[in-house]
A and B are shown apart, each in its own frame.
Chain A
Amino acid sequence: MIEMLKADHIAVVGKFEDISFAAVHGELLVLLTPKEEINSTLTRLLLGATKPDRGDLTLFGRDIGSLPHSELLKIRQRIGVVFAGGGLVSNLKVWENLTLPLDYHSTLSSAVIEERGLATLQRVGYKGRLMDLPGHLSLYQRRQIGLGRAMLTDPDLMIFESPSQGLNQDERQAFIEVARSFHDGKPGRASLFLTSNPAMAELLQDARVVNLHKRQAT
């Protein structure tokens, strides 16, 4: 099996000690962490925004910690991240936020982007206004747009940071269903759910669950 990402005994001082996990192509992985704060740190590590104090972190076979900025940007184009708060840009409207990466990286015409964007909005079930600023949206709507934005780029790896945090039962269910069906949409795509909510494992029954609770000193 080819490993898409591998964390080998990584540690960030003051956050966590000695975490190891790996995900292979096509895998659905739930990483159960002791607290939500760790999910955010892990997301930043996986994106190469910060480096672990100890241990090795490889993504698509490359050591994330040693990559130059330009290479990191290229690797990030293969990753879709849904941040806990949606990760939207506050001075861009909902539609601009949704289509930003596709518009930036692709050479597709505006008409094609519009068509794909509208289809994605329908798929994530967003029913709000397209010309609102993110400040007017609920957490669920922000996360829907964050998910749609990631889906539009058709990434090889999806990272969900605290996907259940702040959502009610129905929203959580609907969100996971879309994430699950998107995962199945491309052979080899891996999805990593970083959560401290054990109920997530029940929602994603065919996922492999790595429980970091027992391994943590914090």
Chain B
Amino acid sequence: MITALGRWILRHFILLADLTRLIVAAFQDMLATFRHGRRPVFRVFLKQVYFTGMQAFKVIAVISLILGAVIITQIISLVGTGNESLIGRVTVWVVVRELGPLLTAIIVIARSGGAIATELGGMRINGEIESIESLGISTGHYLIMPRILGVATAVVILTIYFEIISILGGFTVAAIGWHMPFDPFFEAVFSSLTLNELAVSGAKSLCFGLFLTAACCREGLQVGKSLTEIPQAATSGVMHSLFLVFALDGILTLATLL
């Protein structure tokens, strides 16, 4: 039991170290882009932002709207009407601190995480990665770095949209259902939205974006020569990403409370 637990911890520690190395290499490669490959690498980056960010926007908008309505309904059922200031503050705490970054990352993992692992795994099996390397182009620079930074950028932007739509959606439901006035609610929302709250939300979404993509890229690149390894890589990438997102959320939340 203890041995198995130790092995599990060690395995995940190695995974985390591997992913950190991949992310650090991505930032180093970003600097190398000033020397060569600016146009094609930027094209891959933009494609990634489009596929992960733009195409996921509708899903994010609908989910955040529904979630905002659910959250405010629960808060009102707990604290009652007439306490707009508290309702506004709790909404910010729940949405901005916690659910915004977390749920956005989970949606991105579901939409793009598996796709990235599958795409890279397919490229590996078809010999395309070797073909790119044969052109003197580094895989890390051309394939991995723009994906990691592209998804991280998309996650940060989607989180902002998630939070705005969620708060607006919640208020709309409360205004229609319980005739909540605009001014006291948004006064409470803006007074709770301190720089610290925004920084925590931004840091969480950035970390989630970086690590979830690194995990999926790592799994995709580890595909060998068999087609059956591609779905395995996708599943593994998604599971590792989910684990990392929850683990990082816990760590970052604890760190901000200390």
Contact = CB atoms under 8 A, between A and B. Distances in A.
Contacts, number: 69
Nearest to A40: B127
A96 to B, nearest CB: 8
Contact of B123 (A79, A90, A103, A153): A90
B34 to A, nearest CB: 12
A58 B135 CA distance: 19
A76 B137 CA distance: 9
B123 A44 contact: no
B136 A73 contact: yes
B36 A105 contact: yes
B128 A90 contact: yes
Contact of A76 (B43, B119, B134): B134
B138 interface: yes
A87 interface: yes
A163 to B, nearest CB: 16
Interface in B114-141: 119, 122-123, 126-128, 130-138
B130 A74 contact: no
A103 B39 CA distance: 7
Interface size class of B (residues with CB under 8 A): 20 to 34
Given A90-B122, A105-B37, A77 B136 contact: yes
A104 B134 contact: no
B39 A76 contact: no
In this complex, the member of B37, B40, B41 whose beta carbon has the largest number of chain A beta carbons within 10 angstroms is B40
A81 B37 contact: no
Contacts of A104: 36-37, 39-41, 135, 137, 142
A91 interface: yes
A83 interface: yes
Contacts of A79: 134
Interface in A116-171: 149, 153
A79 B128 CA distance: 17
Nearest to A47: B134
Nearest to A113: B39
A73 B119 contact: no
Interface in A95-123: 96, 100-101, 103-105, 110
Which 8 A-B residue pairs are closest in the complex by CB-CB distance?
A77-B136, A87-B131, A76-B136, A101-B135, A104-B37, A73-B136, A47-B134, A81-B134
Interface of A: 44, 47, 49, 69, 73-77, 79, 81, 83, 85, 87-91, 96, 100-101, 103-105, 110, 149, 153
Interface of B: 36-37, 39-41, 43, 119, 122-123, 126-128, 130-138, 142
